[in-house]
Amino acid sequence: MIKVDNNNTGSLLQQVQQKQSNLLEKLAAGKQVNSAADDPAAQLIIDRLTSQTQGSRQAVSNAYDGIALAQVAESGLANISDDANRIRELTVQAGNGALNDADRQTLQSEISGLQENISLTVEQTNFAGKPLLSGGQDISFLVGSSSGNNIDVETNSVTESINDLLSINVTSEESRQQALDIVDASLETIGGFRGDLGATQNQFATAARVLSESTINTQAARSRIQDLDYARGTSDLAAAQVQGQASLTVQVQANQQQSQVQALLG
């Protein structure tokens, strides 16, 4: 008995159908590489780029947290500077020879209130529970996707640095003579702290900008490897559908021929 072998035709149809299934999966996901089975080397690169992107995004968040912390510290110093300038103004006023002791005592009462404000500002200037004006220690932020890319925010013990300002007393002539020098030195110290914090904020801003640009470039590189070209994918699917229809037609014809041969031989 003669038998027509249609195994090759069936195998071709299965291959075309598998190709169609793969293309439909890629079109649905929008990805050229959905698993390591699609392209092991490409998947390894994609995983590496994904990890780098996620690390960079968190590093950007760290940088903005660093900016926020430095801004809080700088704001506290700005308030202290305002109070110190008012103390200076009152100290100058106390040097007015037309004032009597009672007048100067009134000025001293306001100065004492400002000194208390400064101490309170130092105490209450915190970020996430961390003291910013009394700690005297650096607070470090990782601003890169790998270790070692750190920016430190320097916290200063402000009270110790301007201790003389907090003990100014303008009720006596001797203390008034030294008071202006003390206030000016304190203002210079506070200005130096603010300048350092401003420079640190600029460092964080630069790091965040560089990281953001790097993240965009990394995502673009990953996209080129991973994402599907829809135009090409659609074209390939159409071609596969034509191939599938042709294979199906050939298989039907082969089955019909086999049936006819068997009928003749029967």
More reliable by pLDDT, 58 or 35: 58
pLDDT at 261 over 50: yes
Looking at the structure, tell me whether residues 245 and 184 fall in a common domain: no
| Pair 12, 90 in one domain | no
Query: pLDDT-derived band of residue 174, with 50, 70 and 90 as boundaries?
Result: confident
Q: Output the pLDDT for position 4.
A: 41
Residue 48 lies in a domain: yes
Distance, in Å, from the CA atom of 119 to the CA atom of 110, rounded to the nearest integer, reads: 14
Q: Is residue 1 part of a domain?
A: no
- Same domain as 170, residue 138: yes
Co-location of 171 and 239 in the same domain: no
Question: E-strand spans in 83-198?
Answer: 126-127, 130-131, 138-142, 150-154
127 lies in some domain: yes
Is residue 17 in some structural domain?
yes
Report the pLDDT averaged over residues 183-204. Answer: 95
Asked if 60 and 122 sit in the same domain, the reply is yes
Report how many domains make up the chain: 2
- 35 pLDDT tier (thresholds 50, 70, 90): low
Top-confidence range, 8-22, 65-79, 172-186, 239-253: 65-79
Where residue 265 falls among pLDDT bands split at 50, 70, 90?
Answer: low
pLDDT score of 12: 57
Q: How far apart are CA 252 and CA 256, in angstroms?
A: 6
* Structure confidence at residue 237 (pLDDT): 44
Residues 95 and 204 grouped into a single domain: yes
* Residue 87 · residue 114 · CB < 8 Å: yes
Contacts for 176 with CB less than 8 Å, ≥ 6 apart: 91, 94, 95, 170
Range of 259's domain? 7-30+234-265
**pLDDT tens digits, residue range 138-165?**
899 999 877 778 999 988 899 999 999 9
204 assigned to some structural domain: yes
2 within some domain: no
pLDDT for the residue numbered 247:
54
The candidate with the shortest Cα–Cα distance to 204, out of 69, 51, 4, is 69
Question: pLDDT band at residue 230, thresholds of 50, 70 and 90?
Answer: very low
**C-alpha distances out from residue 69 to 132, 148, 154, 185, 249, Å:** 8, 20, 11, 26, 72
- State how far the Cα of 115 lies from the Cα of 27, in Å rounded to an integer: 69
Residue 65 confidence class, pLDDT cut points 50, 70, 90: very high
Residue 44 has pLDDT above 50, yes or no: yes
Per the domain annotation, does 37 fall within a domain? no
Residues 58 and 90 in one domain: yes
Total Cβ atoms within 10 A of residue 157: 15
CA distance 183 to 164: 8
Q: What is the CATH number of the domain that holds 127?
A: 1.20.1330.10
Residue 154 lies in a domain: yes
Residue 30: predicted pLDDT: 53
pTM greater than 0.85 (yes/no): no
Residues 157 and 250 in one domain: no
Are 145 and 248 in the same domain?
Answer: no
Q: Residues 23, 102: one domain?
A: no
Give CA separation, 85 vs 32, 72, 99, 166, 186, in Å: 65, 20, 21, 13, 10
Q: Tell me: do 14 and 77 sit in the same domain.
A: no
- 77 lies in the same domain as 200: yes
